[in-house]
Amino acid sequence: MENKGLLFIPDISGFTRFVNDVEIEHSRFIIQQLLEELIKANDSNLEISEIEGDAILFYKFGEPEGLGNLYRQVEKMFLAFHQYLIAYDNRKICQCKACISAVDLSLKVITHYGEFTPLNVRQFSKLIGKDVIIAHQLLKNDIPQHEYWLITKDLNRQPAELTNWMQWYAGSKETNRGEINFYYTHLSPLKKDIPKPNIGAELSKKIKMLSVSRDYDIDIKTLCYTVVHFEFRHRWHVGIKTIDEVEHFLPGIGSRHRHVLDNGKIELMYISSFNYDPEGKTIFSETNEKDKSAISFVAEKTGAHSSRLTLEFYLQPNILKQVLFNQLEKNKKKQELQLSLERLDKVVTEMIVPLEF
């Protein structure tokens, strides 16, 4: 039995192979994060042979796993996979094709029992054997849906229905070993119980202290692109020298960044809300980690080639702070935001929006 064991392959599918450089980079990052979620969800002591693009080849030597144990591992990985996607879909800011279609990615899991052996060359290890080839060939099959768990008859002769929604179907695949019979069950019913994350509701708990607006002879898409991308902020927002990202390659709700101010001070901020609606209102807000004050950017479409941006400043509910702000800071802050809107006029008219946005 030392050369026999379980082959376990979770495989991600659903991304179109984009030709745009930004979309390729973003899809690569999303897949990388999903593979990490699958690895973190491994609590069955499965070994990793290799990461194969959008899939991971796990293995475990020994007697076949019980079907119930296998299902619990499949379920945990499947839920971790979709929980990440749902969370990302609700916190994302980027509107490229890769980011907006990520939530539609799917996961299938192939499980096969057979013979294989590790081949070690220096620090590298790779599984070899006819059953490794078969397991990979099973990834290509005629199953009409893309979210399922497949088990071969080498692993289990007659699978049991482990939940009230589970139903098994029979199938086969012609391989270099001949016809391989298998069973499969759809996993999509698991998604209905994944809760939607509750994020981006901070502004409703704060007090709006002032609001300033300006109209622009520019389309709403260009205005939104300019406002939400940090690399342009110093060109128009008064007092900001530069903005550095602290974490998250793809910024979204909850991600942190650092405002470096003209006076040398540094403010740590995080994105507290984002709602993109190019035909209505796009709302983007940032909150100061220290005092919890926030600024909201509200972009509205006013015509085919015209739009409006409103800057709103918020404080935490505190009567004393509100009174002091109104007496000592409000006029200065209002002038600062009004001047920022004026400076933005020149920036948006020069902005070239990439096709992927």
Which pTM does this prediction carry?
Answer: 0.81
Q: How far apart are CA 284 and CA 342, in angstroms?
A: 19
User: Tens digit of pLDDT for each residue in 197-244?
Assistant: 776 678 889 999 999 999 999 999 999 999 999 999 999 999 999 998
For residue 17, how many C-alpha atoms fall within 13 Å in the half-sphere facing its CB?
2
Average pLDDT over residues 171-198: 87
User: Tens digit of pLDDT for each residue in 259-300?
Assistant: 999 999 999 999 999 988 888 899 999 999 999 999 999 999
Radius of gyration of the chain (CA): 26
Q: How far apart are CA 254 and CA 356, in angstroms?
A: 23
At 244, give phi and psi (nearest 5°).
-110, 140
Q: How far apart are CA 67 and CA 183, in angstroms?
A: 12
Q: Which domains does the chain have, with CATH numbers?
A: 4-193 (3.30.70.1230), 202-350 (3.30.530.20)
Nearest to 135 by CA among 11, 274, 260: 11
pLDDT band at residue 93 using 50, 70 and 90 as cut-offs = confident
Q: Distance between terminal CA atoms of the chain?
A: 54
User: Tens digit of pLDDT for each residue in 7-63?
Assistant: 999 999 887 765 566 688 888 889 999 999 999 999 999 999 999 889 999 999 998
Nearest to 273 by CA among 338, 204, 195: 204
